[in-house]
């Protein structure tokens, strides 16, 4: 009661009884988005590798392919693979660091 006015007050619930569905859905959404980003990145690396392989095969067969384009495709494939390997190394490093933490 404040200044003679009764205010409706809802009872406070313990944290264990709160509905955690929203936070659970958010974590699933984050997992899904991370998984989709990871999958897309791996697909991009694969596409670059396939393009490089196809252009190299065409060059070897004597088809009409510009050598510069073959080399550019090869370098793109190499750089995307190196970047993916660095990301993988950083993720493994982070995982190992987390495992070394004491709780």
Quick one: pLDDT at residue 62?
A: 93
Structure tokens of 65?
């392919």
| Structural domain range at position 61 | 24-100
Residue keyed to tokens 């791996």: 42
Task: Answer yes or no: is pLDDT of 10 > 70.
Answer: no
Residue 52 lies in a domain: yes
User: Does position 23 have pLDDT exceeding 90, yes or no?
Assistant: no
Give the list of residues 6+ apart from residue 80 with CB closer than 8 angstroms, or none: 44, 45, 48, 49
In a domain, residue 15? The reply is: no
> What is the tens place of the pLDDT at every residue in 31-80?
778 889 889 999 999 999 999 999 999 999 999 999 999 999 999 999 99
Give the total number of structural domains in the chain.
Answer: 1
On whether residue 19 sits in a domain, the answer given is: no
Q: What is the pLDDT of residue 7?
A: 52
């Amino acid at each position: 009661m404040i200044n003679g006015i009764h205010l409706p007050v809802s009872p406070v619930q313990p944290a264990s009884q709160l509905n955690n569905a929203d936070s659970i859905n958010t974590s699933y959404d984050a997992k899904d988005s991370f998984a989709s980003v990871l999958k897309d990145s791996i697909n991009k690396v694969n596409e670059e590798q396939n393009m490089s392989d196809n252009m190299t095969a065409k060059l070897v067969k004597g088809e009409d392919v510009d050598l510069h384009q073959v080399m550019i495709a090869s370098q793109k494939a190499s750089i995307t693979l190196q970047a993916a390997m660095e990301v993988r190394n950083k993720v493994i490093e982070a995982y190992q660091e987390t495992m070394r933490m004491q709780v």
